[in-house]
Structure 1
């Protein structure tokens, strides 16, 4: 896509500049280069499914991240940061809609609420993939939104498996640079993550990990002084 093509179609949605999905769809159907058609289709999946922000639109920040994938940029920390920030926002507000990749959240549900379905996973198998299993499982349309609410409201401790049963014990990055935890930089903001808290849930760590300064790590790329914070996070990752 040329800059002229984008400039003629980009629209302001809230505080973001976005490209309408309809324009990308027309490009996919009409572009003479098959590989570029596939690239635009992949970009659309990133913008509409993995990093949704405005319904039916692809944010320009998503296109920037997508453009860097060919250069070896790892998108996983950005996906994690987006997920944590959205869940934290819903928790703080006491309500709200999760904005993130719902399919990955569904895979997490199936992985940890395994006793609800009375299904046990193959433990400690290097070949096991929860995503592959979820894709192969036939989709159930008989679970309504009301039934999901009832399931979640009535969950008991014995229904939840906090420890991911397919994980093989190994080294885990639990601090980054001078931070006592791992700061994750997303495409719209940053969030702090403390893997040691999760390990404590797995009963593999019995001490309380440091979490001072964790709240200051969560910010949007429009807050005051955010560039200085981003530089600190970048330096910490480079140091690590």
Structure 2
């Protein structure tokens, strides 16, 4: 129960890593505001939390919309009076190489993956500060540091948007330290979710390619990331601030 009596705001919590993180924090005592662009996805996560005995609320949030973010913060304030934890998990990717990348796709990915984290943090941090402080974890990726490709083409807009997350994290850590708010980020390696095509990370061919880099010879699971996020949010990590933590099966080691 490392998060007993804490209230958490999680974006993109209607599926994948976000859902698993919401379930993890709820199991560890937190009340969770589950936000997602999908009302059905958010509602299902809340159902799963409540079925396990936890406490949760759902809110529809497109992280590009400051108004929707503010409405969700108001929901948390009205329900529980405070917020202590934020997980900036919402993210997208589109399948574009450099040659096929459009300005519209570039803006779409940046507005969610990077600007969205800024907007959510800017709206949620004041309530965390009012609540006595807490912690924020942003989701990055190993592709913030290296390009992962088996075909020779990359997704430059995704790489660039995620590459900004560690520096946004550092800047927020510096500014929010005076408000007793720690800010860190987690960089997942290849994780078996539907974020990318599920088969692209779970097929025997994909695993054979990834074993060239992985030291732990398996694809990651959402629970691997949720456990790292939970730890960074907890008092056990109270002297850790401004870092990017790779959770990648050793991908970045070689």
User: With structure 2 as the length reference, what TM-score do the two structures score?
Assistant: 0.23
Q: Which has the larger radius of gyration?
A: 1
Identify, as 1 or 2, the structure richer in strand.
Answer: 2
Higher RCO, 1 vs 2 (CA within 8 Å, ≥6 residues apart)? 2
